Amino acid sequence: MFGSSAGSPRSAIPPAPSILHLLDAMAREGFEELVALNDRRSGLRAFIGIHDTTRGPAFGGIRRWAYRSEREALLDCLRLARAMTYKCTLADLNAGGAKVVLLERPDVDWRAAYGHLGDAVERMGGRFYTGPDVGTGEDELGWLTARTRYATDPGPEGPGELAASTAEGVFRGIEAALVHLDDDVDWGRRRVVIQGLGAVGAGLARRLVEHGATVVGADLDGDRAASLSRELGIEVMEPARAADQECDVYSPCALGGSIHDLTLTRLRCRVIAGGANNVLAHGLHGDRLHEREILYAPDFVINSGALIRGSIFHLEGRREPVEAIGRRVGESLAAVLRRAREQDASPARVAVEEAEERLAEWRGA
C-alpha cells in the first residue's frame, strides 16, 4: 500500500549522513521528524522518518530488509519518506510522506517487534499511518493492528484491493505512455515484459492479456511464474534475461534498482513503466533514459494506486473504486509526460520538479 520510490534526480541527502550532520540533512530536505527505535525485549531496531505533514497525516509502509549497516538503513528511510511525499503530492492527496525501515537481524522476535512498533505508531496519535511494504505482509500487519489504529487492517475491515489498485494504475499508466508516443494503444500489437510476478505483476499481466497484449513474464520464483503461465498462457523467461528483450514496454514489478549503468546498455524497449519502487538506481539514470529516447514513467507517479486507495479509506472512510484509481493515475502520468515533452526533459526530473513546486506552494515557501 505504502511503498515508495527513490527515483529523484536530486541527491541532496548525504550518501551516509553521520549523526553530527543528520539535522542539517533533515533541514535541507524538509524533514519533520526522525524516530529511532531499539527494543531490548524483542530485538527490534528501526527508524521512522516523517517527511511532511503540510496537507495531512504522513503515509508510509514498513520495509523490513537486511541492510548492511544502520547508516544504510537510515539513508533508505530518509530517501523513501521524501519520495512518499512526492507520491502523495502528485496524486493530489491530503497527505504527506513517511517511512519505516526495520533492520532484519537474527534472533528478533518479530511478533513482539511489530507490537512494539505498533505502540510507537499509536503514540503519534494519527500523525502517521503505516502499512505493508517489502517484508511486511498480512501476518505482520495483524500483529501491528492489534496495537494501533493507524495501520492497514489486512482483513475485511481494511481498505482491501491494494495490489489490484496498484496494478490498475500501472496498466492505465502504460496506456497513457503508449498514447503519448503513438497517439494510440493498439494492444494487439504490443509486447510487454514484466519483471516480477507477485500480486502487482500478476494483476498487471491479467489486465494486459485481457486486452490482447503479448506478455512475457520473469520471476525468481519459478513455480509462481509457471503457475501464471498456465493460467494466462504467457511466455516466461529467466529474470536475468528480462532487460534484454525487444519489447514495447519493460515493466519492473519486483525490487527496485533494476535500471542501472549495466542494464541501461542492454535495454531494447520503448517504455519503462512498472509497479516497483526505486526503479532507477540513481536519479541521473532518468536523464540517460531520456537521452536514449526511452520513455520512463516515474515510479512514484505510476505505482501510487494502493496509496490512493489506502489514504482515501483512512482519511475519508470510503473505498475508492479500483477503476477510478486507474484513471486518476493515468491522467496524472499523462500530465507529467506532456510537461516533459514541452521542456524536452526527463519525465523523472519533471515529476520531481512538479512535486517540489506544489509542496513549496502548500508550505507557503
Contact assessment for residue 44 and residue 113, using Cβ atoms and an 8 Å cutoff: yes
Q: What share of the chain is helix, strand, coil (3-state, %, to 5)?
A: 45, 15, 35
DSSP H helical segments within 53-109, as ranges?
70-90
Nearest to 125 by CA among 53, 179, 180, 19: 53
Contact at 8 Å (CB) between 113 and 39?
yes
- Of the residues 55, 87, 99, 349, which is catalytic? 99
pTM above 0.75, yes or no: yes
Q: Helix (H, G, I), strand (E, B), or coil: what is residue 272?
A: strand
What gap in Å lies between CA 91 and CA 301, rounded to an integer? 7
87 is catalytic: no
Query: Tens place of pLDDT for every residue, the chain, 365 residues?
Result: 555 444 444 444 444 455 557 888 788 888 999 999 999 999 999 999 999 999 999 999 999 999 999 999 998 898 889 989 999 999 999 999 999 999 999 999 999 999 999 999 999 999 999 999 889 999 999 999 999 999 998 888 899 899 999 999 999 999 999 999 999 999 999 999 999 999 999 999 999 999 999 999 999 999 999 999 999 999 999 999 999 999 999 999 987 778 898 889 899 999 999 999 889 888 889 999 999 999 999 999 999 999 999 999 999 999 999 999 999 999 999 999 999 999 999 999 999 999 999 999 988 86
| Nearest residue to 239 (alpha-carbon basis) of 265, 263, 208, 209 | 263
β-bridge partners, 64: 102
